[in-house]
Chains A and B, each alone.
Chain A
Amino acid sequence: MYKKILIIFIVLAVIISMGIAGSGCKSAATTGQADTTAKDTAAGGKSDVTLHMLMEDIPATHAVKALLPEFTAATGINVEFEIVQYMDMHQKLVTNFMSPTGQYDVIEVDNYWAGEFPATGWIIPLDDYIKKDNFDISVYIPSMMDMVGYFPRTGDNKQIYMLPIYSYSMGLLYREDLLNDTALQEAYKSLYNEDLKVPENLEEYVQQCRFMQENAGVSGSAMQAGRGDPIVMEWSNYLFALGGDYYDENWNATINDEKAIKAVELYKENIQYGSPEGALSFALDDALRIMSQGKAYSMISYIIMLPLLTDPEQSTVAESTKMIPMPGEMGLAGGWGWAIAANSQYKDESWEFIKWVESAEIAKKRALDDSTPARIDVCKDADVIAKYPIYPTMLEVISQSKPIPEFLYSAEMVEIVGRELSLICSGEKTAKEGLDLAAKELDELAVKAKLK
């Protein structure tokens, strides 16, 4: 009898433990059911619909968040932001896309991922929605639409997968007070037989950085040469300034050509003679602290840093900090776009949100709250310019920049190039050795992505 009771207990324990283990699946199924119910209700009044979004923790996100009650009041749709650091976003999004029913509805897409997400089918084309609502896309800066709008960028089969949110193109931030310093001007003239002025090309800029480091008591350039995207973003400006690129038009890697090698050599020279000691480990925030504390002559950085560096409460060199497009041919463009997840339960409601947040009225409100506009009309709006006189400069920087290649493996491309640049700059490889290997791996990526 005792043994039978014991066996029954064990069998019960098995059933209970299986129930516990399966509770995750059960709750997921229940959630799915709840979502379906909510969607059905939404057809009537939308009062139960809540859109979930993963957002980067930056001022532009908080500008949108402050306006969300207006959206809910107008549409009855609730919105919940999950605000995280940039470095956590890609991993969270990719994991989310693998699930049949995703957690996020509206997706904030960095231009890094603007090739990956459409190519994998993780986000959907917006053409039908745009056509149905006659949404005007001519208001956007064309380079922004190319970068975080269309996929592919060119060709007959290009579609609109995203609408631009804001730009973070890169340009040159420099200290005007140091450039206008008479003593420094004389010293520069006697040393190089040239005038100390706003640099017109990359070679002149690198030369100035070294001069400032040796003569002005500050670092020449607050560089962000930490491995990964910081070093790649910064170096891409050197590459594009010299007219180089990652691939040619047939997706053959050109990252080891003469221009690229020269770009690496100039970059390495600047790290060696014109940057703070720890530059090889610096990300944006490390470099920004040096610049904002007046410890550097210049910084190649994002336009969204300009409001911060010209704010006397956040920068000791607010009065003298100026920005120009990258000296040379081009700078690096960057930006974000709104998209709708293919596994979202609320695609129509998601479009409602995008349409609202990108309307002229809301875009202007966002621009007046520290969010760089992607719409030309907002950039040129008198109220916006009155509050942010720097926006015309930003528009100039955006127009003279281009993005990194956008394709399925852009993120891996950045990782490869970042690794090799870091190895070159830390002296473990020559420029040619590093770039040759990078070019070989980039060619393999293009083949893997079926681009050639």
Chain B
Amino acid sequence: MMITGSGIHALPAYIYERFYAYMKTLAQQKKRTGLFFISPTVLVLILVVLIPLIFSFIISFFNYTLVDPSFDRFIFFKNYSTIFQDAYLWNSLKITLIFVFTVVPLEFVLGFFIALLLNRDIRFKGLFYTILTIPMVMSPVAVGLIWKMFLHADLGIVNYIFSVLNLPSVNWLGSNKIALLTIILIDIWHQISFMILILLAGLKSLPKEPFESAKIDGASNTQSFFYITLGLMRPVISVAVLIRVIFSFKTYDLVYIMTRGGPGVSTELISYFIYKKTFMGMDFSQATAISYVLFAIIMIIVIFLFREMSGRKWD
């Protein structure tokens, strides 16, 4: 059907026909039912996620600031070229990559190890679960404030314990050589529960038959772990690692509470850098430009990880 100017009143009928035709081509009833159920969610997501994303992308090409929130000046890629000339942005990107690619592997290895321990028949399992869940339910702000007190170089309990053990005190947050490591350790303490619980749920759901067959065939525990457990756990590992990668890139609260990016610029993660641009520099345009650079980096890494981990090569 052709839509012409005079036939504009036929538009609803046209949409109906096209939609009906599309529905007709759906081979399975399953698909139609699925579409029916997800349609409200998809529409809400379009309204509350996609539209703001498009709006902020448009802002990144204008000189749109909190002082002058207007679309009067279209400046093409100037915001992007300006931010790439900022040496402190490159530093933030470097610090963020170090942070993400230290935190996530360590959380995964430690988390998997603890999940394997908890997957055995041990006593007080409920108690361990409770203890492990506590950090996860705490807000990052509370975590930052608590650890800031614990790690106070002069009055903190950690350095007090060190002194009792005749160990030298550590300048946890006041040294530009140690502060990032401190933030990494606290983030691991806070987020490892998530990794443990997801991996543990995956381990619990593994079928028993492959392990029994392997045992009959004479496979050792190590061989079972590397050839069966890891293989079967790949989808769960993919999800856990991807979620943590995405959330690690967005870490902001710990830095805001504990160091404000300092000493110097040693803990200035990219999310905190964006916050400063927005609320101190009052420059929405540059802040959104940096956000889209971050978005692109995360997407590239996520796609790469997804392809590597979710089956294409492994299958």
Instruction: Identify the A interface with B (CB < 8 A).
Output: 3, 6-7, 9-10, 13-14, 16-18, 20-22, 87, 90-91, 94, 98, 119-120, 219, 226-228, 276-282, 286, 289-290, 293, 295, 408-409, 411-412, 414-415, 418-419, 422-423, 425-428
Contact A227 B39 (CB under 8 A): no
Give 8 A-B pairs besides A16-B40, A276-B153, A278-B172 with Cβ atoms closer than 8 angstroms. A7-B20, A13-B36, A17-B44, A18-B47, A21-B47, A277-B154, A415-B276, A425-B263
Interchain CA distance A279-B16 in the complex, whole Å: 69
Contact A7 B23 (CB under 8 A): yes
Which residue of A120, A280, A293, A423 is within 8 Å of B175 (Cβ)? Answer: A280
Which residue of A7, A90, A227, A289 is within 8 Å of B155 (Cβ)? Answer: A289
A-B contacts, 23 of them at CB < 8 A, read A7-B23, A17-B39, A17-B40, A20-B44, A21-B47, A120-B67, A227-B264, A278-B171, A278-B172, A278-B174, A281-B153, A281-B172, A281-B174, A286-B152, A295-B155, A412-B280, A415-B276, A415-B280, A415-B281, A422-B262, A426-B176, A426-B263, A426-B264
Interchain CA distance A9-B265 in the complex, whole Å: 55
B-side contacts of A286, CB under 8 Å: 148, 152
Is residue B260 contacting chain A, with contact meaning CB distance below 8 A?
yes
* A281 in contact with B179 given A228-B262, A290-B155, A411-B280 (CB within 8 Å): yes
Query: Which 6 pairs from chain A and chain B are nearest by CB?
Result: A278-B153, A227-B262, A281-B173, A278-B174, A17-B40, A21-B47
Which residue of B48, B152, B154, B264 is within 8 Å of A428 (Cβ)? Answer: B264
A-side contacts of B191, CB under 8 Å: none
Residues 277-301 of B, flagged 1 when their CB comes within 8 A of A and 0 if not, give: 0011110000000000000000000
Interchain CA distance A120-B36 in the complex, whole Å: 49
B52 to chain A, nearest CB (A): 12
* A278 in contact with B39 given A425-B263, A428-B264 (CB within 8 Å): no
Contact A226 B262 (CB under 8 A): yes
Contact B16 A7 (CB under 8 A): yes
Interchain CA distance A414-B260 in the complex, whole Å: 13
Kindly report which residue of chain B lies nearest to residue A18, judged by CB atoms: B43
Is residue B215 contacting chain A, with contact meaning CB distance below 8 A?
no
A-side contacts of B248, CB under 8 Å: none
A409 to chain B, nearest CB (A): 8
* A278 in contact with B282 given A7-B23, A227-B261 (CB within 8 Å): no
A133 to chain B, nearest CB (A): 32
A-side contacts of B20, CB under 8 Å: 3, 7
B-side contacts of A94, CB under 8 Å: 66, 279, 282
List CB contacts (< 8 Å) of B227-268 with chain A.
Answer: 256, 258-266
Is residue B14 contacting chain A, with contact meaning CB distance below 8 A?
no
B307 to chain A, nearest CB (A): 33
Which residue of A412, A414, A422, A428 is within 8 Å of B282 (Cβ)? Answer: A412
Is residue B69 contacting chain A, with contact meaning CB distance below 8 A?
yes
Most B-side CB within 10 Å, residue of A87, A278, A290, A295 = A278
A-side contacts of B276, CB under 8 Å: 415
Contact A227 B260 (CB under 8 A): yes
A-side contacts of B24, CB under 8 Å: 3
Contact A7 B19 (CB under 8 A): yes
Contact A98 B174 (CB under 8 A): no
Is residue B32 contacting chain A, with contact meaning CB distance below 8 A?
yes
Contact A276 B263 (CB under 8 A): no
B-side contacts of A119, CB under 8 Å: 67
B-side contacts of A10, CB under 8 Å: 35-36, 39
A342 to chain B, nearest CB (A): 14
Is residue B81 contacting chain A, with contact meaning CB distance below 8 A?
no
* A280 in contact with B262 given A98-B69, A412-B282 (CB within 8 Å): yes
Which residue of B172, B175, B259 is within 8 Å of A227 (Cβ)? Answer: B259
Contact B47 A277 (CB under 8 A): no
Is residue B169 contacting chain A, with contact meaning CB distance below 8 A?
yes
Interchain CA distance A120-B258 in the complex, whole Å: 31
Interchain CA distance A36-B155 in the complex, whole Å: 53
Which residue of B23, B66, B264 is within 8 Å of A422 (Cβ)? Answer: B264
B-side contacts of A295, CB under 8 Å: 154-155
Interchain CA distance A154-B69 in the complex, whole Å: 28
Interchain CA distance A16-B280 in the complex, whole Å: 40
B-side contacts of A226, CB under 8 Å: 259-260, 262
B-side contacts of A409, CB under 8 Å: 281-282
Interchain CA distance A297-B65 in the complex, whole Å: 46
Interchain CA distance A286-B154 in the complex, whole Å: 9
B152 to chain A, nearest CB (A): 6
A155 to chain B, nearest CB (A): 21
Which residue of A278, A408, A427 is within 8 Å of B152 (Cβ)? Answer: A278
Kindly report which residue of chain B lies nearest to residue A434, judged by CB atoms: B264
Contact B262 A281 (CB under 8 A): yes
Kindly report which residue of chain A lies nearest to residue B155, judged by CB atoms: A289
Contact B264 A423 (CB under 8 A): yes
B-side contacts of A14, CB under 8 Å: 39-40, 43
B-side contacts of A9, CB under 8 Å: 36
B-side contacts of A293, CB under 8 Å: 155
A-side contacts of B258, CB under 8 Å: 281
A329 to chain B, nearest CB (A): 28
Kindly report which residue of chain A lies nearest to residue B156, judged by CB atoms: A278
A-side contacts of B154, CB under 8 Å: 219, 276-278, 290, 295
List CB contacts (< 8 Å) of B1-41 with chain A.
Answer: 16, 19-20, 23-24, 32, 35-36, 39-41
List CB contacts (< 8 Å) of B128-173 with chain A.
Answer: 148, 152-155, 169, 171-173
Contact B265 A423 (CB under 8 A): yes
A80 to chain B, nearest CB (A): 23
List CB contacts (< 8 Å) of B51-75 with chain A.
Answer: 66-67, 69
Residues 62-103 of B, flagged 1 when their CB comes within 8 A of A and 0 if not, give: 000011010000000000000000001000000000000000
B-side contacts of A425, CB under 8 Å: 263
Interchain CA distance A271-B41 in the complex, whole Å: 56
A441 to chain B, nearest CB (A): 11
Contact A412 B48 (CB under 8 A): no
Interchain CA distance A295-B155 in the complex, whole Å: 10
Interchain CA distance A415-B179 in the complex, whole Å: 19
A-side contacts of B261, CB under 8 Å: 227-228, 419
B252 to chain A, nearest CB (A): 12
Interchain CA distance A98-B282 in the complex, whole Å: 11
Kindly report which residue of chain A lies nearest to residue B170, judged by CB atoms: A277
B98 to chain A, nearest CB (A): 16
B62 to chain A, nearest CB (A): 16
Interchain CA distance A423-B264 in the complex, whole Å: 4
Contact B263 A280 (CB under 8 A): yes
